[in-house]
């Protein structure tokens, strides 16, 4: 079984209220080979919601209490992101998922790149909270951009495994 960011399978759960359509990923869900999840919704955040970014590090830093997830208005949503990550991990354990295809650049799901916490659009190497937790727990994590094994930067992530 595979975990997939629900927005990649067309669910309208992104912060702005839309989703994406990746036919190959949607087909995995339709064929029962993948389970769609949205960590932010599972963590109790609404759709739509204010944009969020990790401030002070990446998802590993959030898990370790060294960084926070804030909205563009300064509201601290760290607890919701941690709850969502824990919920996704519970789904992975329940379904036996050993791989996750997550939305790149998301503060939850980014696997190699996230935004820098300034809401300026600047990207930095790192992963989101859910990606970090799954990696720590031994789940292989990739993005919609590299799920066919094209990712060469994964060795930089503590606990990551090449796909």
pLDDT digits (tens, 9 = 90+) for 44-84: 999 999 999 999 999 999 999 999 999 999 999 999 999 99
Cβ neighbours around 73 below 10 Å, total: 8
Answer whether residue 156 shows pLDDT above 90: no
Domain positions in the chain are: 2-156
- At residue 161, the pLDDT reads 36
Q: Is the pLDDT of residue 149 over 50?
A: no
pLDDT the model gives residue 163 = 30
* Cross-strand bridge partners of residue 2: 34, 99
Q: How buried is 145 (Cβ within 10 angstroms: 0-12 exposed, 13-18 middle, 19+ buried)?
A: middle
**With 90 as the cut, is the pLDDT of residue 148 above it?**
no
pTM comes to 0.89
Secondary structure string (H, E, C) spanning 2-48: EEEEHHHHCCCCCCCCCCCCCHHHHHHHHCCCEEEECHHHHCCCCCC
Helix (H) or strand (E) holding 102: strand 99-102
Q: Which two tokens stand for residue 105?
A: 């650049």
Would strands 123-125 and 113-115 be described as parallel, antiparallel, or unpaired?
antiparallel
Query: Which residues have C-beta within 8 Å of that of residue 163, sequence separation ≥ 6?
Result: 99, 140, 142, 146, 147, 149, 151, 154
Model confidence at 151, pLDDT cuts 50, 70, 90, reads very low
Bridge partner list, 54? 69
d(CA 117, CA 80): 17
Which residues neighbour 92 within 8 Å (Cβ) at sequence distance 6 or greater?
3, 98, 100, 134, 137, 139
Three-state SS for 110?
A: coil
């Amino acid at each position: 079984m595979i975990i997939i960011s629900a927005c990649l399978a067309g669910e309208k759960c992104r912060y702005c209220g839309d989703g994406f359509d990746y036919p190959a990923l949607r087909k995995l869900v339709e064929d029962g080979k993948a389970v769609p999840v949205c960590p932010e919704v599972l963590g109790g955040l609404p759709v739509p919601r204010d944009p969020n970014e990790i401030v002070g590090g990446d998802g590993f830093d959030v898990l370790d209490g060294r960084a926070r997830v804030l909205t563009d208005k300064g509201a601290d949503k760290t607890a919701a992101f941690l709850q969502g990550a824990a919920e996704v991990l519970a789904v992975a354990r329940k379904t036996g998922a050993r791989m996750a295809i997550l939305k790149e650049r998301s503060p939850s799901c980014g696997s190699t790149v996230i935004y820098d916490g300034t809401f300026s659009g600047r990207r930095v190497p790192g992963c989101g909270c859910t990606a970090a937790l799954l990696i720590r727990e031994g789940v292989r994590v990739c993005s919609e951009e590299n799920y066919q094994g094209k990712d060469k930067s994964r060795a930089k992530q503590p606990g990551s495994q090449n796909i």
